[in-house]
A and B are shown apart, each in its own frame.
Chain A
Amino acid sequence: MTRTIRLAARQALLEQRSFWRSAEYALFTFAFPLMILLLIGAANVGSHLPGTDIKDTTVFVPGILAFGVIVAAYVNLGSKVAVLRHDGVLKRIRTTPLPSGAYIGGLLVSTVVTAIFITAATGLIGWLAFGAVPRPGELLALAGGLVLGTVCFASLGLAVSSVITSAESAGPVAYASFLPIAIVSGVFDPTFSGLPGWLSRLVAAFPIHALAQVLQNAYAARPFSAWDLANLGLWTAAGATLAVWRFRWHS
């Protein structure tokens, strides 16, 4: 067991080094959420949610926190594993006695580290630029939401990697499969509304909406919803099941 953990840590270290070495990739991963945070955030300064005294940015910043978690866990891990499979790196790992748990564990640890970096950068900029901070009493809910969100989207990332058939389509598939839902979930626009009732109910069933809600509630001190946590839990289970069932070491 300790050997597996040690090997996973070594693996995670190489993954992190590789991530930061491909400068444009790392930059893009970070720049995308942070740019949206600054640009859309600046456009919403001074406005409040309709009929409340909650500032737009108080809800918008945690929405971008959710977005960052999804980019780190779902997009990055999903496309990374697809490329590793396509390039035959996974196949090569199978020629060694490395336990598969140590390898996948290493990828997951590296993903969590990236998610922590993005979350810290988003939270810090949200605080410094827009004064948005989580409510002190909700810190535990915020941390819990971030952890559950990371686990949920990492499992979905592993699942989606099995559907991606080429290295070239990895990034586009990963982004295209969540960005539209993120937009209609109001992640980029706290005042987003006007969807037909059935569509907004459908959107609410997705984990993007649930994660955004959990984090926004922690910032805006809105009542905590057990349904959102159950939603994330169910999607985690579905993602993990699909990931294990469909996982292949070769393309």
Chain B
Amino acid sequence: MTADTVTADTVTADTVTADTVTADTATAGPVTNGAAVQVTGLRMSFGGTEVLHGVDFDVRYGEVFCLLGPNGAGKTTTLEILEGFRAPSHGHVRVLGMDPAAQPARLRERAGMVLQECGFPRQARVAELLDLWRTYYPNPRPLRDLLEVVELTEVRRTQVRKLSGGQRRRLDFALALAGDPDLIFLDEPTTGFDPEARRRCWAAIENLRGLGKTIVLTTHYLDEAEQLADRIAILRAGRIELTGTTEEVAVRAGLATRISFITPCALRQGQVPLPDGIDLAVRGPESVCHTSNAAMTMRLLLDWALEHGLGDLGGLAVTAPRLEDTYLQLTTANGDHA
């Protein structure tokens, strides 16, 4: 297996420090088998058409979990079931130890929800609206804290209708955070945003993570999943294709590790035979091979280089399979553009 292939450019998702986790948030909520969300054999049908065909995944406390998939894959439907807006046709769903369809009101005291395209009272001011929202919950977060987490302190007196799209979305986050929930659902948090607005939304989500909140988000943007998620589940046409960290997902998809180096002159001029047992392709200035066993391939390659006096192979690079490759393979190989 190639799971132990360490590379320089591998994305490490766990670089965020947890130094801002405070005692009251870190211990929030009863631990139910260590999972904030448990989904087993979830099926959902609308009028005889099944849109979820047996979905399984767990979300651990304190992690950012991303449901990644193309439009129409069933991400929002899954989220609506977790949020208690829909009862599943079949399957077992537990959110913070509760059955969402049976106890929606209790769940909403402890789970914040950001839906797609949800309006605000147009004439309300930012701080005023947050203050009103705080009265809905038994243990609200302080107003100042809410404004700071989503970087809206400067516009706290502004009427909501005058905010930009990105500011509104961050206000969405703040409203979802008003009751100091253990878990936050974000449905496609940055769809349709320009790069700057997305970057600030991502920063706000990182702040939520810093508070120790468990976050479940859906997206069809790969870079968003890669940027934010500790773990990813790829949902396609109502099925979970793969679950794991970005690296694990790519490895489990059976994608090859890419090894490349600058083509030595001797090789380019045909003075050196190609190595045995390696599918090496000489593409002008670069030589490339793909392998499912990077360690063994590297050994063969370096032995071959030594044998033919090619030295350390300049520009040698080992690239783990990227989430993008996995995703594209899963969502396009079968001609699926749901």
Contacts and interface: CB of A to CB of B under 8 A. Distances in A.
Interface of A: 6-7, 10-11, 14-15, 17-19, 21-22, 84, 86-89, 91-92, 94-99
B268 to A, nearest CB: 62
Contacts of B83: 95
A17 B128 contact: yes
B246 to A, nearest CB: 29
18 contacts: A14-B121, A14-B129, A17-B123, A18-B124, A21-B123, A88-B118, A89-B119, A92-B119, A92-B120, A92-B175, A95-B83, A95-B112, A95-B115, A96-B108, A97-B105, A97-B108, A97-B109, A97-B179
A11 B131 CA distance: 11
Count class of interface residues, chain B: 20 to 34
B214 to A, nearest CB: 17
A14 B118 contact: no
Contacts of B132: 10-11, 14
A204 to B, nearest CB: 39
B293 interface: no
Contacts of A86: 119
B278 to A, nearest CB: 55
Contacts of B105: 97, 99
A218 to B, nearest CB: 36
A98 to B, nearest CB: 5
B176 interface: yes
B37 interface: no
B135 interface: yes
Nearest to B111: A95
In the A-B complex, the 4 residue pairs with the smallest Cβ-Cβ separation, listed nearest first, are: A87-B119, A18-B123, A95-B113, A88-B119
Given A84-B119, A91-B118, 12 more contacts: A7-B135, A10-B132, A10-B135, A14-B121, A88-B119, A89-B120, A92-B119, A92-B175, A97-B108, A97-B179, A98-B136, A99-B105
A14 B128 contact: yes
B148 interface: no
Contacts of A18: 121-124
A102 to B, nearest CB: 9
B124 A14 contact: yes
Contacts of B303: none
B121 to A, nearest CB: 6
Contacts of A87: 119-120, 122
Contacts of B175: 92
Nearest to A13: B132
B85 interface: yes
Interface string B101-144: 00001101100110101111111100011001101110000000
Nearest to A102: B136
B159 interface: yes
A12 B109 CA distance: 22
Contacts of B136: 7, 96-98
Nearest to A14: B132
A100 to B, nearest CB: 10
A88 B108 CA distance: 18
A185 B137 CA distance: 48
Interface string B134-177: 01110000000000000000000001000000000000000110
Contacts of A11: 132
